[in-house]
Amino acid sequence: MTLTAVSKTQPPGAIDAALAAGQRVFGENRVQEAQGRWDGRRNSVPGLELRLIGPLQSNKAAEAVALFDVIETLDRPKLADALAAAGARAGKPVHVLIQVNTGAEPQKAGVLPAGVSELLDHARAAGLIVEGLMCIPPADEAPGPHFALLRKLAHRHGLEALSMGMSGDYETAIRFGATHVRVGSSLFGERKPPESP
């Protein structure tokens, strides 16, 4: 089980403290903000792993491929194509998770559970390395059934990685087989309000 420390909006001192404590896996939800935080540290921290956990626009695919080791938020064929093209240009294998909208919430990113199979086939045909699935359960529901559904979908497709669980529900997620939990505020304290773009 891997702890992904969600470092979005954290000040440099908090990142340095986590690195000094030995933390090496970090999650960020915006490409540009992550570049500012990690470009300078990228090469000086051996073993660093950066994971994109926020929505990605196709026109940022090249920047995302350059910075991140794993992109957890693949949710549509067009983005798969853009990531594959960016990986080919950079000569870099692209590792992804498919984000699943387990609650079928209209405003939320992620492919519907019924669409996982088709997107998986598309991503693999494009040349992406699909490691597993990721979800963010609806805020107003018990998360357990959503984690169970994600695990079921992963098993059905022979996928290993399950990125699920945040500060409020990571213990539940671990019981349901999470391989990666994404924890921000429980680790770093409350976030500052996001910087304006």
Under the rule (CB under 6 A), what is the footprint of ligand PLP? 6, 8, 29, 53-54, 136, 166-168, 182-186
Give the residue with the Cβ less far from ligand PLP, 87 or 110.
Answer: 110
Give the residue with the Cβ less far from ligand PLP, 35 or 126.
Answer: 35
Nearest to 177 by CA among 158, 156, 152, 157: 152
**Three-class SS of residue 36?**
helix
The DSSP line for 125-171 is HHT-EEEEEEE---TTS-SHHHHHHHHHHHHHTT--EEE---TTTHH
**Three-class SS of residue 88?**
helix
What SS3 string covers 41-66? CHHHCCCCEEEECCCCCHHHHHHHHH
Task: Return the DSSP state at 83.
Answer: H
> Cβ 52 to ligand PLP, closest distance in Å?
9
Give the residue with the Cβ less far from ligand PLP, 175 or 191.
Answer: 191
In the chain, % helix, strand, coil (3-state, to 5) comes to 40, 20, 40
Give the residue with the Cβ less far from ligand PLP, 126 or 167.
Answer: 167
> Cβ 1 to ligand PLP, closest distance in Å?
15
Give the residue with the Cβ less far from ligand PLP, 33 or 63.
Answer: 33
> Cβ 169 to ligand PLP, closest distance in Å?
9
Residue with CB nearest ligand PLP? 184
* 85 CB-contact burial (10 Å; exposed 0-12 / middle 13-18 / buried 19+): middle
> Cβ 58 to ligand PLP, closest distance in Å?
19
Residue 93 has which token pair?
């294998």
> Cβ 136 to ligand PLP, closest distance in Å?
5
Give the residue with the Cβ less far from ligand PLP, 66 or 183.
Answer: 183
> Cβ 181 to ligand PLP, closest distance in Å?
9
